[in-house]
Amino acid sequence: MFKGFRDEKENFKVEISNDVQGMLSLYAASYLTFEGESLWEANTFSRTYLMNLLKQGIDVDVAKQVWQVLEGLPYHQSFHRLEARRYIDTYAKKGPHNHLMLELAKLDFNIIQSLHQKELQEVSRWWKDFGLASKIHFARDRIVESFFWSLGMIPQPQITKSRKELTKVGILITIIDDIYDVYGTLEELELFTNAIERWDVNAINTLPDYMILCFLALYNTVNEMAYDIFKEQGVKSIHYLKKSWSDLCKSYLQEAKWFHNKVTPSFDEFLENGWISSGGGPLLIHSYFLVTHDQDITEQALHSLTNYHDPLRSAMTILRLTNDLGTSTDEIERGETSNSIISYLHETGLSKENARQYYTTLIDKEWQNLNKYHYQVMHSIFSKSFIHCVLNFARIAQYTYQYGDGYGRQDDISINRIKLLLVDPIPVNIVT
C-alpha cells in the first residue's frame, strides 16, 4: 500500500514531506492498519513532520487544518456527519472552489438536519408521555444525548424508525445505570437483576415502587420492539434482546458489589466485566435487528451476536476504555471503584499519564481488529449494514468521551457539537 512512498532502503522518501496535503492523507491512512501490520512507521513519520511544520510557522489556514487533524480523532474513527459539517465550513473558506457544489452540500445538510429535528421532536414527545423521567428524579434525563448517539450509529436518513427505537434503548440504559450506580441498595439491586433475568412480570412483587416502574418501562418497551420486529420481518428477537439486558444488569450488579464491599478489582478482572457494563450490548443487539434484513439473519450470526463475538466485543471494549478515560477524574474524586483506570493505577502504581498512553495502545489494538471486519465485510457472517453500525458505535463512543464525560456532564464542546448537528443550519447563499 505504501510502496510508492518509500525509497530503495524502505525508508519514507524525503520529497513527499513537501506535500502537506499528502502528509495529512498519509497520517489518516496509517490508522487503517490491521493487527500485525507495520503502518505505525507511517504514523510516526507523518505526525512528526506535521508537528514540526506547526513549530516552524506556516499559512494560518493550513496550520489550523493540521492542528485539527493532529488534535482530533483520525477521520476513520470520527463521527462522519459532524466531520462533513466541519469540512463544509472549511471548504467555503478555500479558493477557488465550486460554488454550486458547496451550496448544494449546504442544502443537503440542512434538509437532513430538519429530518433529524423532526425525529428528535417525536422521540422527545414519546419520552415525555412515557412519564418515567418525572417519577425517577434521581436519574439523568438524557434524551437529546441518546438521540445524538443513535444518530451516530445509524446516520442513514431513510432509517428513521430505527434511529428513534435505538434512542429509546439508550435512554433506558441511562436510567438503569443510575439505579445501580447512585440509588439502589445492594439488596434491591439483586432483586432487580433477578427480575430482569427472569423477564417475568410476576417478579415485580418483590421490588420497591421505583424499580417496578423501571422494570415495566423496560419490559413493555422491549417486548413492543420484539413484536414490531416479528410483525415486519418474521424474526423472533425477544430471546436475544432480553439476554442483552440481563447481561448488562448482571455486570452492573458486579460493579455495585465491588463498590459496596470497598473492593478494587484487578485491571483484567474489571475489564472482563467492564466491556459488558459499558452498555454497548443492548445498543448493538437491538441495532442488529433494526438494520439487518430478515434474509441476512442466520443462526450463525445470532449465535455470534448473543455471545458478543468480534467485532462486537472490540467496539464495546473501545466504549469501556474511552468512557473510563473521560470519566475517571470525577469518579476518583467520588471514591468510586467502577472505573478500569482506578484498577490500573492501583495495580501498577503508575501515573494517570502512563495509564492514558497504555489505554491509547489498547484502543488502537481494538480498532485494528475492527478494521479487519470493515475491509473483509463481504466475508462476514454479519450484514454490511450491521458492520457499519458497529464501526459507527465505536466512532460515537470516542467522540462522546474525547474531552471528558460528554454524555453525563455536558460541557461547551459537547453542547456545540449538538448545536452544529441538530440546531444550527448552515447559511445558504445561492446566486441566481
Whether 424 shows a pLDDT value over 80: the answer reads yes
Q: How confident is the model at residue 20 (pLDDT cuts 50, 70, 90)?
A: confident
- Report pTM: 0.93
CA distance 9 to 204: 71
Residue 423 lies in a domain: no
Whether 61 shows a pLDDT value over 90: the answer reads no
Give the model's pLDDT for residue 2: 56
Q: What percent of the chain clears pLDDT 70, i.e. is strictly above it?
A: 92
Give the model's pLDDT for residue 141: 92
pLDDT, tens only, 72-85: 899 999 999 999 99
CATH number at residue 280: 1.10.600.10
Write the secondary structure of the chain as one string of H (helix), E (strand) and C (coil).
CCHHHECCCCCECHHHHHCHHHHHHHHHHHHHCCCCCCCHHHHHHHHHHHHHHHHHCCCHHHHHHHHHHHHCCCHHHCCHHHHHHHHHHHHHHCCCCCHHHHHHHHHHHHHHHHHHHHHHHHHHHHHHHHCHHHHCCCCCCCHHHHHHHHHHHCCCCCCHHHHHHHHHHHHHHHHHHHHHHHHCCHHHHHHHHHHHHHCCHHHHHHCCHHHHHHHHHHHHHHHHHHHHHHHHHCCCCHHHHHHHHHHHHHHHHHHHHHHHCCCCCCHHHHHHHHHHHCCHHHHHHHHHHHHCCHHHCCHHHHHHHHCCCCCHHHHHHHHHHHHHHHHHHHHHHCCCCCCHHHHHHHHHCCCHHHHHHHHHHHHHHHHHHHHHHHHCHHHCCCCHHHHHHHHHHHHHHHHHCCCCCCCCCCCHHHHHHHHHHHHCCCCCCCCC
Query: Which of these, 171, 77, 87, 167, lies nearest to 402 by C-alpha position?
Result: 77
pLDDT, tens only, 381-401: 999 999 999 999 999 999 999
Instruction: Report which of residues 121 and 67 the model is more confident about.
Output: 121
63 and 197 in a common domain: no
C-alpha cell at 412: 461547551
Residue 314 lies in a domain: yes
Q: Phi and psi at residue 97, in whole multiples of 5°?
A: -140, 165
Give the model's pLDDT for residue 333: 67
322 and 187 in a common domain: yes
Give the model's pLDDT for residue 14: 60
Residue 89 lies in a domain: no
Domain endpoint, select from 39, 71, 103: 71
**What is the CA 210 to chain-centroid distance, rounded?**
29
Whether 53 shows a pLDDT value over 60: the answer reads yes
CA dihedral in degrees (108, 110, 114, 115; nearest 10)? 20
pLDDT, tens only, 289-321: 999 988 889 999 999 999 999 899 999 999 999
Q: What percent of the chain clears pLDDT 90, i.e. is strictly above it?
A: 68
338 and 247 in a common domain: yes
Residue 51 lies in a domain: yes
375 and 306 in a common domain: yes
Whether 1 shows a pLDDT value over 60: the answer reads no
pLDDT, tens only, 209-239: 999 999 999 999 999 999 999 999 999 999 9
Residue 166 lies in a domain: yes
Is the CB of residue 2 less than 8 Å from the CB of residue 45? no
Give the model's pLDDT for residue 4: 61
Residue 11 lies in a domain: yes
CATH number at residue 14: 1.50.10.130
271 and 130 in a common domain: yes
333 and 271 in a common domain: yes
Query: Which of these, 100, 28, 33, 22, lies nearest to 69 by C-alpha position?
Result: 28
Whether 371 shows a pLDDT value over 60: the answer reads yes
pLDDT, tens only, 143-166: 999 999 999 999 999 999 999 999
Is the CB of residue 110 less than 8 Å from the CB of residue 152? no
Total number of domains in the chain: 2
Residue 156 lies in a domain: yes
Is the CB of residue 344 less than 8 Å from the CB of residue 355? yes
Whether the link from the prior residue into 74 is cis, omega within 30° of 0, is: no
123 and 37 in a common domain: no
DSSP reduced 3-state for 142: coil
For 174-201, what is the mean pLDDT? 96
142 and 52 in a common domain: no
264 and 364 in a common domain: yes
Q: Phi and psi at residue 323, in whole multiples of 5°?
A: -60, -45
131 and 60 in a common domain: no
Q: Residue 230's domain spans which residues?
A: 115-409
For 273-291, what is the mean pLDDT? 97
Is the CB of residue 143 less than 8 Å from the CB of residue 167? yes
CA dihedral in degrees (233, 167, 184, 203; nearest 10)? -20
Kindly report the average pLDDT of the chain as a whole number: 90
For 32-51, what is the mean pLDDT? 81
CA distance 274 to 272: 6
302 and 244 in a common domain: yes
156 and 65 in a common domain: no
Residue 377 lies in a domain: yes
Q: How confident is the model at residue 129 (pLDDT cuts 50, 70, 90)?
A: very high
Domain endpoint, select from 71, 102, 124: 71
